[in-house]
């Protein structure tokens, strides 16, 4: 019953968002053009690097194509629901309109996480997955069907981690109202995930694995999709999943704590 | 002329004030300029160390460190955002009031640009020092190369600002063409030598980079400052080419601006 209602709500919000998009079609096309430009520049980047060298710390050009594809997939996925919803949450806290969300007879965390769904960002996900699959085919000569399950699981874990980070950043806004530009910090750090974390020195790698778990967002899913000696070890995958669960729990607790501090618009 | 100088000084004072007001947000913009070269240094030094002779396109690890240290600084002093912003100014109608002033809007854009570079220096300067200390670059530049490199960086800043502004004039015809700014930026990244030193570009990209003006905005001052450009003759001919490009772009701007303003019809109040 409860789950049916949740699914119905998601469907409803998706429908409303698609209708809104139809009003700004040119804007949508422009954004798709921009994301294709980004993908092209990333592919040119791989071409430039591997016209100078055979491999970078064990990563060959096929591996790197998989990573470029995964990076685009994750970046697109984050822009479908996570970033737009959190942007709206920050705006609502600042404007005081969050009260309207809290008054609705639905779990508030659920509602703030599904209100905005930018469906055309799925183009990024499709382009990214195509590039990643192409990289795998160039590597082994076949579509990575066997890896697909572990890959999907690690990708889901990556999204869970990003969602947790964003929910915590959003919750911070209950105390520090002017953190709307925090999104830029997020994308700046995310930039470091364009390349495998193996290129960094030990200390940076450690930081990007344990302090800022960027490794589990791009490098680990890419490795999960790659078969052979580069593939992600079961323990890494398990670590990523454990971290994702912890992030969900911690961010949920923090959100509830923040909500108790929220005093509303008129205060 | 005196009007321009006095107005520009006033614009600059106002812009510095605005930037200081929003210092927190402006620092966030500056972070990208630190992370991007650092990440690219990491990938290229790792790639160089995977090669047998530990070098790549004539660069050792330490030279990549020097190159990206220079690119980090040059990237800061050459940054310009008008290719993104002019379309917005037209859409929101705020260009209309600027057009009423007896001085071209480009002067206030230049003032904002310089104010940004000056006010964020207090933040990025220590970060540059930190990067230098961590990556230990190998520099072999003599004082004259550094002095000419600073001159080249200033010319590069003007060059990128003006060319970006000229490209932005497209938005007078199509104010929602956001992809223009992105494409301009991406082309500058690849052909300017920001993504990779020009020597590392493969065949056709390398040839294109030598024809396009972008190398004079990033690669040339960087190579000069790190000591890759050895002879004064080479350095002076580079500076001359920068000046020629600059004059050419000023010329295009004067015609482009006239045509653009003639085409302008305000969007809203």
B30, B123 contact by CB (below 8 A): yes
Residue A55 has its nearest CB partner, among B50, B190, B200, at B50
Residue A126, pLDDT score = 95
What are the structure tokens assigned to B158, written together?
A: 């003007």
For B240-262, the three-class secondary structure string (H helix, E strand, C coil) is HHHHHHHHHHHHHHHHHHHHHHH
For chain B, the domains span 33-98+135-263
What is residue A267's predicted lDDT score, i.e. its pLDDT? 47
| Cβ-based burial of A21 (10 A; exposed 0-12, middle 13-18, buried ≥19) | middle
Distance CA(A115)–CA(A112), nearest Å, equals 6
- Pair A250, A166: CB distance under 8 Å: no
Kindly report the backbone phi and psi dihedral angles of residue B79, in degrees, each rounded to the nearest multiple of 5, phi listed first.
-65, 145
What is the model's pTM? 0.91
Contacts of A195 in chain B (CB under 8 A): 39, 42-43
Q: Which residue of B has its CA nearest to A202?
A: B42
Query: What pLDDT is attached to residue B267?
Result: 63
Per-residue pLDDT at A21 exceeds 90: no
Q: How many residues does chain B have?
A: 269
Contacts of B37 (CB under 8 A, 6+ apart): B68, B69, B71, B72, B75, B194
3-state DSSP: chain A helix, strand, coil percent, rounded to 5?
80, 0, 20
What is the interface pTM, i.e. ipTM, of the complex? 0.89
**8 A C-beta contact, residue B151 and residue B158:** no
Task: Looking at the complex, report in whole angstroms how far the Cα of residue A23 sits from the nearest Cα belonging to chain B.
Answer: 15
Q: Nearest CA to CA, how far is B195 from chain A (Å)?
A: 7
**Is-contact A91 A112, C-beta < 8 A?**
no
Rounded Cα–Cα distance for residues B235 and B35 (Å): 29
Residue B105: which of B173, B167, B165 has the closest Cα? B165
pLDDT tens per residue, range A52-65: 998 899 999 999 99
Q: Is B103 helix (H, G, I), strand (E, B) or coil?
A: coil
CB contact under 8 Å between A51 and B28, yes or no, is: no
Inter-residue contact B85 to B168 (CB < 8 Å)? yes
Burial of A244 (0-12, 13-18, 19+ CB in 10 A): buried
Chain centroid to CA B229: 20
Chain A residues whose beta carbon lies within 8 Å of the beta carbon of residue B51? 53
Q: Are A72 and A57 in contact (CB under 8 A)?
A: no
Q: Measure A199 CA to nearest chain B CA, in Å.
A: 6
What residue has token string 């470091």? A192
Query: Looking at residue A93, what is its pLDDT?
Result: 85
A64 in Cβ contact with A50 (< 8 Å)? yes
* Phi, psi (deg, nearest 5) at residue B42: -60, -45
Sorting pLDDT into bands at 50, 70 and 90, what band is A1? low
Pull the structure tokens for residue A195.
């390349």
Task: Report in angstroms the alpha-carbon separations of B159 from A147, B195, B211, B246.
Answer: 50, 19, 15, 6
How does the average pLDDT of chain A come out, rounded?
A: 89
pLDDT score of B78: 96
Q: What is the mean pLDDT of residues A196-215?
A: 91
Of B223, B183, B179, nearest to B200 by C-alpha is: B223
Mutate to test the interface with B, among A35, A53, A59 (most CBs of B within 10 A): A53
φ, ψ at A213 (rounded to 5°): -75, 55
Domain boundaries, chain A: 2-261
Beta-carbon separation of B47 and A184 below 8 A: no
For residues B64 and A217, is the Cβ–Cβ distance under 8 A? no
Q: Is A84 on the interface with B (CB under 8 A)?
A: no
Would you say A218 and A67 are in contact if contact means Cβ atoms under 8 Å apart? yes
Separation CA A28–CA A44 (nearest Å): 24
Q: Of A105-114, A153-162, A244-253, B214-223, which gets the smallest average pLDDT? A: A105-114
Token pair belonging to A262: 């929220």
Torsions phi, psi for B54 (to 5 deg): 65, 10
pLDDT along chain B (269 residues), means of 10: 89 92 83 93 94 91 96 96 88 87 91 94 95 93 94 97 94 82 92 96 93 96 94 95 97 95 73
**Residue of B32, B39, B200 with shortest CB distance to A52:** B200
H-only helix segments in A51-144: 61-77, 83-95, 98-102, 108-114, 122-140
Query: For residues A35 and B253, which has the higher predicted lDDT (pLDDT)?
Result: B253
CA distance A165 to A157: 12
Residues of B with CB under 8 A from a CB of A: 24-25, 28-29, 31-32, 35-36, 39, 42-44, 46-48, 50-51, 56-57, 176-179, 182-183, 186, 189-190, 195-196, 200-202, 205
**pLDDT, position B269:** 43
Check pLDDT > 80 for residue A178.
Answer: no
């Amino acid at each position: 019953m409860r789950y049916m209602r949740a699914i119905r709500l998601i469907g409803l919000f998706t429908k409303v968002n698609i209708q809104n998009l139809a009003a700004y079609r040119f804007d949508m096309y422009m954004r798709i053009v921009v994301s294709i430009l980004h993908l092209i520049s990333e592919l040119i980047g791989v071409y430039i690097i591997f016209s100078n060298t055979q491999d970078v710390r064990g990563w060959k050009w096929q591996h790197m194509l998989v990573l470029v594809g995964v990076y685009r997939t994750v970046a697109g996925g984050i822009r479908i629901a996570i970033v737009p919803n959190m942007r709206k949450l920050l705006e609502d806290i600042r404007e005081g309109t969050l009260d309207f969300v809290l008054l609705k007879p639905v779990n508030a965390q659920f509602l703030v996480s599904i209100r905005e769904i930018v469906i055309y960002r799925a183009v990024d996900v499709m382009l990214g997955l195509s590039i990643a699959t192409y990289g795998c085919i160039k590597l082994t000569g076949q579509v990575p069907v066997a890896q697909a399950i572990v890959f999907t699981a690690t990708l889901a874990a990556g999204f869970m981690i990003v969602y947790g980070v964003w929910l915590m950043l959003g919750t911070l806004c209950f105390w520090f109202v002017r953190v709307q530009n925090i999104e830029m910090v997020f994308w700046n750090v995310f930039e470091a995930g364009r390349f495998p974390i193996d290129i960094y020195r030990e200390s940076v790698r450690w930081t990007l694995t344990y302090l800022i778990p960027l490794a589990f967002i791009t490098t680990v899913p890419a490795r999960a999709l790659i078969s052979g000696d580069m593939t992600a070890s079961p323990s890494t995958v398990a670590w990523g999943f454990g971290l994702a669960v912890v992030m969900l729990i911690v961010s949920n607790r923090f959100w509830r704590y923040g909500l108790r501090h929220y005093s509303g618009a008129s205060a | 002329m005196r009007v321009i100088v006095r107005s520009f000084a006033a614009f600059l004072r106002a812009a510095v004030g605005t930037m200081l007001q929003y210092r927190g947000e402006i620092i966030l913009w500056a972070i990208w300029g630190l992370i991007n070269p650092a990440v690219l240094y990491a990938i290229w030094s790792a790639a160089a160390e995977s090669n047998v002779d530990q070098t790549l396109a004539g660069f050792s690890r330490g030279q990549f460190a020097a190159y990206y240290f220079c690119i980090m600084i040059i990237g800061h002093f050459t940054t310009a955002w008008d290719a993104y912003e002019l379309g917005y100014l037209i859409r929101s109608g705020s260009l209309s009031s600027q057009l009423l002033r007896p001085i071209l809007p480009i002067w206030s854009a230049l003032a904002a640009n310089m104010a940004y570079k000056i006010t964020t220096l207090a933040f990025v300067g220590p970060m540059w020092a930190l990067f230098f200390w961590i990556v230990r670059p190998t520099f072999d530049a003599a004082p004259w190369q550094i002095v000419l490199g600073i001159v080249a960086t200033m010319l590069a800043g003007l060059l990128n600002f003006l060319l970006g502004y000229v490209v932005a004039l497209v938005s007078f015809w199509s104010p929602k063409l956001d992809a223009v700014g992105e494409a301009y930026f991406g082309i500058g990244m690849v052909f300017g030598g920001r993504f990779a030193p020009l020597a590392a570009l493969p065949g056709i990209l390398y040839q294109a980079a030598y024809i396009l003006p972008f190398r004079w905005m990033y690669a040339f001052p960087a190579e000069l400052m790190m000591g890759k450009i050895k002879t004064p003759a080479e350095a002076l001919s580079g500076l001359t080419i920068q000046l020629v490009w600059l004059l050419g772009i000023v010329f295009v701007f004067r015609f482009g601006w006239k045509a653009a303003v003639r085409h302008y019809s305000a969007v809203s109040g």
